[in-house]
Amino acid sequence: MPLLTMKQLMKDSRRLATTDSDPKERYAVGAFNFSTLPEMVGIVEGARMKHAPVILMASLGAVKYIGSLELIAECAKGLAKTYPEVPFCVHLDHAVDLDQIKRAIAAGFTNVMIDASKEPYEVNIQKSKEIAEFAHRYSPYGADGCSVEAELGMLAGREEHVQVSEEDAGKAYTDPTLVPRFVEETGIDALAVAIGTAHGFYKAAPKIRFDLLDEIRKCTDIPLVLHGGTGVPDEDFRKCVAMGMSKINVGTGLKKVYTDAVRQAICDLPDTEYDPRKIVGPGRHAIMEEIAGKCDLFNCTGTAEKILQSIYG
Protein backbone atom coordinates (compact mmCIF):
# COMPACT_ATOMS: atom_id res chain seq x y z
CA MET A 1 0.00 0.00 0.00
CA PRO A 2 1.54 3.35 -1.01
CA LEU A 3 1.56 6.39 1.23
CA LEU A 4 -1.49 8.58 0.78
CA THR A 5 -1.74 12.35 0.71
CA MET A 6 -3.46 14.58 3.22
CA LYS A 7 -5.86 15.65 0.47
CA GLN A 8 -6.92 12.03 -0.06
CA LEU A 9 -7.32 11.41 3.67
CA MET A 10 -9.51 14.45 4.22
CA LYS A 11 -11.62 14.51 1.07
CA ASP A 12 -14.60 12.80 2.71
CA SER A 13 -14.22 14.79 5.92
CA ARG A 14 -14.32 18.06 4.02
CA ARG A 15 -17.27 16.88 1.91
CA LEU A 16 -19.27 16.28 5.06
CA ALA A 17 -18.19 19.65 6.46
CA THR A 18 -19.34 21.60 3.42
CA THR A 19 -22.74 19.97 2.99
CA ASP A 20 -25.89 19.86 5.08
CA SER A 21 -24.75 16.58 6.63
CA ASP A 22 -25.53 15.68 10.21
CA PRO A 23 -22.82 17.32 12.37
CA LYS A 24 -22.62 14.03 14.29
CA GLU A 25 -21.33 12.33 11.11
CA ARG A 26 -18.47 14.78 10.63
CA TYR A 27 -14.96 13.80 11.62
CA ALA A 28 -11.39 15.09 11.63
CA VAL A 29 -8.16 13.25 10.90
CA GLY A 30 -5.66 13.37 13.74
CA ALA A 31 -2.11 14.52 12.97
CA PHE A 32 0.57 13.61 15.49
CA ASN A 33 4.21 14.60 15.90
CA PHE A 34 6.91 11.98 16.32
CA SER A 35 10.67 12.04 16.97
CA THR A 36 11.54 8.32 16.89
CA LEU A 37 10.59 5.13 15.06
CA PRO A 38 8.80 3.63 18.11
CA GLU A 39 6.58 6.72 18.18
CA MET A 40 5.83 6.39 14.47
CA VAL A 41 4.84 2.76 14.92
CA GLY A 42 2.75 3.54 18.00
CA ILE A 43 0.82 6.22 16.12
CA VAL A 44 -0.02 3.89 13.22
CA GLU A 45 -0.88 0.99 15.55
CA GLY A 46 -3.25 3.23 17.50
CA ALA A 47 -5.03 4.18 14.28
CA ARG A 48 -5.21 0.53 13.27
CA MET A 49 -6.91 -0.33 16.57
CA LYS A 50 -9.69 2.06 15.65
CA HIS A 51 -9.80 1.44 11.88
CA ALA A 52 -9.00 5.12 11.40
CA PRO A 53 -6.84 7.33 9.17
CA VAL A 54 -3.89 9.19 10.66
CA ILE A 55 -1.18 11.70 9.74
CA LEU A 56 2.44 11.26 10.83
CA MET A 57 4.03 14.69 11.39
CA ALA A 58 7.77 15.37 11.37
CA SER A 59 8.84 18.68 12.85
CA LEU A 60 12.09 20.32 11.81
CA GLY A 61 13.56 19.21 15.13
CA ALA A 62 12.57 15.61 14.42
CA VAL A 63 14.21 15.76 10.99
CA LYS A 64 17.44 16.99 12.58
CA TYR A 65 17.32 14.36 15.33
CA ILE A 66 16.48 11.41 13.07
CA GLY A 67 19.07 12.45 10.52
CA SER A 68 17.46 13.19 7.18
CA LEU A 69 14.25 13.74 5.27
CA GLU A 70 15.01 10.67 3.19
CA LEU A 71 15.28 8.40 6.23
CA ILE A 72 11.91 9.55 7.55
CA ALA A 73 10.26 9.09 4.15
CA GLU A 74 11.66 5.58 3.76
CA CYS A 75 10.50 4.60 7.26
CA ALA A 76 7.03 5.86 6.42
CA LYS A 77 6.99 3.86 3.19
CA GLY A 78 7.93 0.74 5.14
CA LEU A 79 5.11 1.37 7.61
CA ALA A 80 2.65 1.76 4.73
CA LYS A 81 3.61 -1.70 3.46
CA THR A 82 3.40 -3.18 6.96
CA TYR A 83 0.03 -1.63 7.81
CA PRO A 84 -1.88 -1.55 4.49
CA GLU A 85 -5.20 -1.29 6.30
CA VAL A 86 -4.29 2.10 7.78
CA PRO A 87 -4.65 5.10 5.43
CA PHE A 88 -1.96 7.59 6.41
CA CYS A 89 0.45 10.17 5.07
CA VAL A 90 3.81 11.57 6.20
CA HIS A 91 3.87 15.32 6.73
CA LEU A 92 6.61 17.93 7.17
CA ASP A 93 5.29 20.37 9.75
CA HIS A 94 5.87 24.14 10.11
CA ALA A 95 8.66 24.36 7.55
CA VAL A 96 9.89 27.81 6.52
CA ASP A 97 12.85 27.08 4.23
CA LEU A 98 11.55 26.64 0.68
CA ASP A 99 14.54 24.56 -0.43
CA GLN A 100 14.11 22.19 2.50
CA ILE A 101 10.42 21.76 1.72
CA LYS A 102 11.24 20.96 -1.89
CA ARG A 103 13.79 18.37 -0.73
CA ALA A 104 11.11 16.78 1.45
CA ILE A 105 8.77 16.54 -1.53
CA ALA A 106 11.52 14.98 -3.66
CA ALA A 107 12.33 12.54 -0.83
CA GLY A 108 8.77 11.21 -0.80
CA PHE A 109 6.84 13.19 1.81
CA THR A 110 3.20 13.16 0.79
CA ASN A 111 2.25 16.34 2.60
CA VAL A 112 4.18 19.48 3.51
CA MET A 113 3.36 22.65 5.40
CA ILE A 114 4.79 25.94 4.27
CA ASP A 115 4.59 28.26 7.27
CA ALA A 116 4.93 31.82 6.02
CA SER A 117 2.32 33.07 8.48
CA LYS A 118 4.71 35.60 10.04
CA GLU A 119 5.33 37.13 6.62
CA PRO A 120 3.18 39.90 5.10
CA TYR A 121 0.06 38.62 3.37
CA GLU A 122 1.44 39.05 -0.15
CA VAL A 123 4.67 37.25 0.73
CA ASN A 124 2.71 34.44 2.34
CA ILE A 125 0.75 34.06 -0.89
CA GLN A 126 3.92 34.07 -2.99
CA LYS A 127 5.77 31.45 -0.93
CA SER A 128 2.75 29.21 -0.45
CA LYS A 129 2.02 29.32 -4.19
CA GLU A 130 5.61 28.40 -5.04
CA ILE A 131 5.50 25.33 -2.82
CA ALA A 132 2.05 24.25 -4.01
CA GLU A 133 3.12 24.46 -7.66
CA PHE A 134 6.34 22.56 -6.94
CA ALA A 135 4.55 19.82 -4.95
CA HIS A 136 1.90 19.28 -7.60
CA ARG A 137 4.48 19.23 -10.38
CA TYR A 138 7.54 17.48 -8.98
CA SER A 139 6.33 14.92 -6.46
CA PRO A 140 7.85 11.51 -7.30
CA TYR A 141 4.33 10.07 -7.03
CA GLY A 142 2.89 12.28 -9.77
CA ALA A 143 0.70 15.39 -9.92
CA ASP A 144 -1.45 14.35 -6.95
CA GLY A 145 1.38 12.79 -4.97
CA CYS A 146 1.97 15.56 -2.46
CA SER A 147 -0.50 17.99 -0.94
CA VAL A 148 0.27 21.32 0.70
CA GLU A 149 -0.91 23.04 3.86
CA ALA A 150 -0.35 26.73 4.57
CA GLU A 151 -1.27 28.99 7.47
CA LEU A 152 -3.12 32.29 7.54
CA GLY A 153 -2.94 34.07 10.88
CA MET A 154 -0.56 33.21 13.75
CA LEU A 155 -0.75 30.90 16.76
CA ALA A 156 0.86 31.83 20.06
CA GLY A 157 3.53 29.61 21.60
CA ARG A 158 6.55 27.77 20.26
CA GLU A 159 6.67 25.18 17.50
CA GLU A 160 10.35 24.22 17.22
CA HIS A 161 12.02 27.45 15.97
CA VAL A 162 8.72 29.27 15.27
CA GLN A 163 7.72 31.39 18.26
CA VAL A 164 4.86 33.88 18.50
CA SER A 165 3.97 35.89 21.59
CA GLU A 166 0.40 35.81 22.94
CA GLU A 167 0.13 39.54 22.28
CA ASP A 168 1.10 39.17 18.62
CA ALA A 169 -1.13 36.14 18.12
CA GLY A 170 -4.08 37.99 19.59
CA LYS A 171 -3.73 40.52 16.80
CA ALA A 172 -3.44 37.86 14.11
CA TYR A 173 -6.53 35.68 14.08
CA THR A 174 -7.31 34.40 10.61
CA ASP A 175 -9.23 37.08 8.74
CA PRO A 176 -12.08 35.39 6.83
CA THR A 177 -12.10 38.14 4.20
CA LEU A 178 -8.55 37.19 3.19
CA VAL A 179 -9.22 33.46 2.88
CA PRO A 180 -10.83 33.18 -0.61
CA ARG A 181 -8.05 35.02 -2.42
CA PHE A 182 -5.35 33.25 -0.43
CA VAL A 183 -6.72 29.81 -1.27
CA GLU A 184 -7.38 30.61 -4.93
CA GLU A 185 -4.02 32.22 -5.70
CA THR A 186 -1.84 29.78 -3.78
CA GLY A 187 -3.48 26.55 -4.93
CA ILE A 188 -2.95 24.97 -1.50
CA ASP A 189 -4.84 21.85 -0.40
CA ALA A 190 -5.51 22.71 3.27
CA LEU A 191 -5.56 25.84 5.40
CA ALA A 192 -4.35 26.10 9.00
CA VAL A 193 -6.40 28.72 10.83
CA ALA A 194 -5.72 30.80 13.93
CA ILE A 195 -8.88 30.83 16.05
CA GLY A 196 -7.51 30.92 19.60
CA THR A 197 -5.39 27.80 20.08
CA ALA A 198 -1.63 27.85 20.81
CA HIS A 199 1.36 25.54 20.56
CA GLY A 200 2.57 23.81 23.71
CA PHE A 201 0.85 23.54 27.10
CA TYR A 202 -1.80 26.07 28.09
CA LYS A 203 -1.72 28.03 31.34
CA ALA A 204 -5.53 28.15 31.12
CA ALA A 205 -8.10 26.59 28.79
CA PRO A 206 -7.97 28.28 25.36
CA LYS A 207 -10.80 30.53 24.25
CA ILE A 208 -11.60 29.30 20.80
CA ARG A 209 -13.34 31.71 18.43
CA PHE A 210 -16.08 29.43 17.14
CA ASP A 211 -17.74 32.41 15.48
CA LEU A 212 -14.59 32.89 13.44
CA LEU A 213 -14.43 29.21 12.54
CA ASP A 214 -17.98 29.41 11.25
CA GLU A 215 -17.14 32.39 9.05
CA ILE A 216 -14.00 30.75 7.67
CA ARG A 217 -15.79 27.49 6.96
CA LYS A 218 -18.24 29.35 4.74
CA CYS A 219 -15.40 31.03 2.80
CA THR A 220 -13.65 27.99 1.34
CA ASP A 221 -14.14 24.38 0.34
CA ILE A 222 -10.63 23.17 1.20
CA PRO A 223 -9.98 21.31 4.48
CA LEU A 224 -9.35 23.40 7.60
CA VAL A 225 -6.60 22.57 10.11
CA LEU A 226 -6.48 23.19 13.85
CA HIS A 227 -2.98 23.56 15.31
CA GLY A 228 -2.20 23.61 19.03
CA GLY A 229 -4.32 20.61 20.00
CA THR A 230 -2.59 19.82 23.28
CA GLY A 231 -4.79 20.82 26.22
CA VAL A 232 -7.89 21.77 24.25
CA PRO A 233 -10.95 20.56 26.22
CA ASP A 234 -12.70 17.54 24.71
CA GLU A 235 -15.95 19.44 24.29
CA ASP A 236 -14.14 22.09 22.24
CA PHE A 237 -12.60 19.42 20.03
CA ARG A 238 -16.03 17.91 19.43
CA LYS A 239 -17.49 21.30 18.57
CA CYS A 240 -14.63 22.07 16.14
CA VAL A 241 -15.21 18.75 14.39
CA ALA A 242 -18.98 19.26 14.24
CA MET A 243 -18.37 22.71 12.74
CA GLY A 244 -16.15 21.36 9.96
CA MET A 245 -12.52 21.10 11.12
CA SER A 246 -10.88 18.38 9.02
CA LYS A 247 -7.40 17.99 10.57
CA ILE A 248 -6.32 18.38 14.20
CA ASN A 249 -2.65 18.56 15.22
CA VAL A 250 -1.33 17.19 18.51
CA GLY A 251 2.36 17.35 19.41
CA THR A 252 3.39 18.35 22.92
CA GLY A 253 0.78 16.19 24.64
CA LEU A 254 1.97 13.11 22.80
CA LYS A 255 5.57 13.77 23.83
CA LYS A 256 4.42 13.85 27.45
CA VAL A 257 2.53 10.56 27.15
CA TYR A 258 5.58 8.85 25.65
CA THR A 259 8.09 10.33 28.09
CA ASP A 260 5.97 9.62 31.17
CA ALA A 261 5.65 5.96 30.18
CA VAL A 262 9.39 5.60 29.54
CA ARG A 263 10.25 7.27 32.86
CA GLN A 264 7.91 4.93 34.69
CA ALA A 265 9.43 1.91 32.95
CA ILE A 266 12.93 2.96 34.04
CA CYS A 267 11.71 3.31 37.62
CA ASP A 268 10.01 -0.09 37.57
CA LEU A 269 12.76 -2.11 35.91
CA PRO A 270 15.65 -3.56 37.94
CA ASP A 271 19.09 -2.00 37.56
CA THR A 272 20.24 -5.19 35.86
CA GLU A 273 17.83 -4.75 32.93
CA TYR A 274 19.51 -3.33 29.82
CA ASP A 275 17.06 -4.24 27.06
CA PRO A 276 16.03 -0.93 25.39
CA ARG A 277 12.83 -2.54 24.15
CA LYS A 278 11.58 -2.93 27.70
CA ILE A 279 12.28 0.76 28.31
CA VAL A 280 10.81 2.35 25.18
CA GLY A 281 8.20 -0.36 24.59
CA PRO A 282 5.84 1.07 27.22
CA GLY A 283 6.20 4.46 25.53
CA ARG A 284 5.14 3.01 22.21
CA HIS A 285 2.17 1.27 23.87
CA ALA A 286 1.16 4.50 25.67
CA ILE A 287 1.18 6.38 22.37
CA MET A 288 -0.93 3.66 20.77
CA GLU A 289 -3.56 4.00 23.48
CA GLU A 290 -3.49 7.80 23.28
CA ILE A 291 -3.99 7.75 19.50
CA ALA A 292 -6.88 5.31 19.85
CA GLY A 293 -8.57 7.68 22.29
CA LYS A 294 -8.03 10.65 19.98
CA CYS A 295 -9.58 8.73 17.07
CA ASP A 296 -12.74 8.36 19.13
CA LEU A 297 -12.62 12.01 20.17
CA PHE A 298 -12.15 13.24 16.60
CA ASN A 299 -14.94 10.90 15.44
CA CYS A 300 -12.78 9.22 12.78
CA THR A 301 -12.99 5.73 14.28
CA GLY A 302 -14.22 3.27 11.65
CA THR A 303 -13.63 5.54 8.64
CA ALA A 304 -10.49 3.86 7.26
CA GLU A 305 -12.29 1.39 5.00
CA LYS A 306 -14.50 4.09 3.51
CA ILE A 307 -11.45 6.24 2.74
CA LEU A 308 -9.56 3.37 1.11
CA GLN A 309 -12.61 2.37 -0.96
CA SER A 310 -13.01 5.93 -2.22
CA ILE A 311 -9.43 5.86 -3.44
CA TYR A 312 -9.05 2.32 -4.73
CA GLY A 313 -12.65 1.24 -5.32
Active site residues: 93
Q: Residue 189 gets which letter from DSSP?
A: S
How far apart CA 292 and CA 129 sit, in angstroms, is 35
Do 17 and 190 form a contact (C-beta atoms < 8 A)?
no
User: What is the chain's Cα-based Rg?
Assistant: 18
CA distance 24 to 97: 39
309 Cβ contact list (under 8 Å, min separation 6): none
Bridge-based pairing state of the strands 29-34 and 247-250: parallel
* Residue 17 identity: A
Residues 6 or more apart whose CB falls under 8 angstroms from that of 210 comprise 195, 239, 240, 243
Distance from the Cα of residue 33 to its chain's centroid? 8
**DSSP E strands, the chain:** 29-34, 54-58, 88-95, 111-114, 147-152, 157-159, 162-164, 190-193, 224-226, 247-250
- Pure H helices in 111-251: 121-138, 166-170, 179-186, 210-217, 234-242
